[in-house]
Chain A
Amino acid sequence: MNKIILGRYIPGASFVHRLDPRSKLILSFFFIVVIFFANNVQSYLLLGVFTLFCVYLSKISLAFFIKGVRPLIWLILFTVVLQIFFTRGGQVYWQFGPFSVTHFGLVNGGFVFCRFVLIIFMSTLLTLTTAPLEIASALEALMLPLKKFKVPVYEISLMISIALRFVPTLMDETEKIMNAQRSRGVNFGEGSLIKQLKAVVPLLIPLFVGAFNRAEDLATAMEARGYRGGEGRTKYRVHFWKRRDTLSCVLFGLLTLLLLFLRNW
């Protein structure tokens, strides 16, 4: 249950931690876009070094980032293998029917692998250094212009923040129900697929019922505390754009320029 590294915030006070969540969110997206410009060894090396530098700035052990890659490793390897087998060009090392391993294929496979790992590292950096709620409130701030199009921005962000806040609570409850079922002889993760699916049903039903009860309690509690919808509320959590946020943006800008300079046109 505790293996989900995505969304596992590690409190700290590093440079990256103290960045405004809005700038972290924008820059992470920006990085994912920029990474598609890289197309040779030098440019990937640049991005790799830059990512490691960011990891260093966060003062979080590299092991956490590697753990973040692990759940996706099969997807990555599958994509890499596809790239290797189906990219043609350059020296042919091996061929069998439609499959062939060529020089280009291997290089491309390597690039795809790097791209995946760098994207995961960057997004893990975002989630490790930013509390989920910070991300939610940054999203709200960034979505605010959508209010003009009658998008219920406040409500959406409240929904996200409540969902995030209840993740640990519901995980605890799942654990409890699983233990209760185990003590009655249910085996989770054993037997055929059908059997395993059947074992999940008595887990999901009480979980759903519990979640509905919680939702009702929470709604009553919120109403009792004067909640009347998102309009006309003041905000306790506010964001302040600081020098380091501007600095980070400049840094990413320079990175992009350097990357455009290094890539093959």
Chain B
Amino acid sequence: MEKIIEIADLTFHYPQQDSELLRQVNLTIHKGEWVALIGHNGSGKSTLARLIDGLLVPTTGTLKIGGTILSDASVWQIRKKIGMVFQNPDNQFVGANVEEDVAFGLENLAIPRAQMQVRVKEALQRVNMWEFREHEPARLSGGQKQRVALAGVIAMRPEIIILDEATSMLDPEGRKDVIKIIQELSQAGFTIISITHDINEASLAQRVVVLNDGQILQAATPQTVFARGEKLLAVGLDVPFSEKLKVALSRQGLHVPAGYLTEEGMIDWLCQSISKT
């Protein structure tokens, strides 16, 4: 598989701070992969995302995006390949209304207007927000605003989409909508990095990277990572509901399967166990 992001010996700290936010991070992400970055508050997740997009400059180490080393000279070229959606839906809405916000990134790239119209429509239809194209942000829910932000990213046709806790401020309904779109985008071949607190969102990824105090603790499939159960709680992380239920059942003296079970897997297993007794 083609490597799209290569991070080597990356260390970062803010000039005014002594402690390092990221220490010796090595990570390779392949094209089309969906990687979830998890970790407690202050573990360096968002910092890592900002470093990948060149919004922060690493103290030491190198970042290679699509084979190009990230530097002052290449940062704007690289940013074209990366789209980012941030946490607060209100603080990333630049345009006056939905379609203008989607067009903002395209205006920056100096795309001709005729082409912009095509791309804006396409992107908004993809996130089911085309009917809302003339709405102002004040008339949209949080989930709708995040879908618009996603459309803004899609319209720019990046290769990598980074979601920096994009669902954390949404209500369950809005979160479901956004996650559904992320799944569709992943299937369409975009490389996705989602930084999240929502374990259910992380469990949808192909690979979960656990960050703890600026270091990568583990990088493996969701099944492997979540099977660690209580050890994840120790680094300040939540585990999925199915895992919690499993732990609670085993405390009751029940024999539970060793690996991680998805929610559906858990339901199946429970049904089977009940029908056996």
The interface of chain A, by Cβ under 8 A from chain B, is 11, 131-133, 161-162, 164-165, 168-169, 172, 213-214, 217-218, 220-228, 232-238
Among residues of B, the one whose C-beta sits closest to the C-beta of A11 is B134
In contact, B100 and A232 (Cβ under 8 angstroms): no
In contact, B152 and A225 (Cβ under 8 angstroms): yes
- Chain B nearest CB from A210 CB (Å) reads 10
Among residues of A, the one whose C-beta sits closest to the C-beta of B155 is A225
Which residues of chain A are near B23, meaning CB under 8 Å?
none
Most buried by B among A162, A224, A234, A238: A224
In contact, B91 and A234 (Cβ under 8 angstroms): no
Which residues of chain A are near B113, meaning CB under 8 Å?
234-236, 238
User: How many positions in chain B have a CB within 8 Å of any CB in the partner chain?
Assistant: 42
11 contacts across the A-B interface (CB closer than 8 A): A131-B136, A133-B100, A218-B91, A221-B91, A224-B53, A224-B83, A224-B84, A225-B152, A234-B113, A236-B104, A238-B113
In the complex, A107 Cα to B152 Cα: how many Å? 59
Which residues of chain A are near B76, meaning CB under 8 Å?
226, 228
Which residues of chain B are near A11, meaning CB under 8 Å?
134
The interface of chain B, by Cβ under 8 A from chain A, is 50, 53, 55, 76, 79-80, 82-84, 86, 88, 90-97, 99-100, 103-113, 116-117, 120, 134, 136-138, 152-153, 156
Among residues of A, the one whose C-beta sits closest to the C-beta of B84 is A224
Which residues of chain B are near A223, meaning CB under 8 Å?
55
In contact, B105 and A226 (Cβ under 8 angstroms): yes
In contact, A165 and B112 (Cβ under 8 angstroms): no
In contact, A169 and B90 (Cβ under 8 angstroms): yes
Among residues of A, the one whose C-beta sits closest to the C-beta of B137 is A165
- Chain B nearest CB from A256 CB (Å) reads 33
In the complex, A165 Cα to B96 Cα: how many Å? 6
In contact, A217 and B86 (Cβ under 8 angstroms): yes
In the complex, A234 Cα to B120 Cα: how many Å? 14
Partner of A221, one of B82, B92, B100, B116: B92
In the complex, A245 Cα to B110 Cα: how many Å? 29
In contact, A131 and B90 (Cβ under 8 angstroms): no
In contact, B108 and A225 (Cβ under 8 angstroms): yes
In the complex, A235 Cα to B113 Cα: how many Å? 7
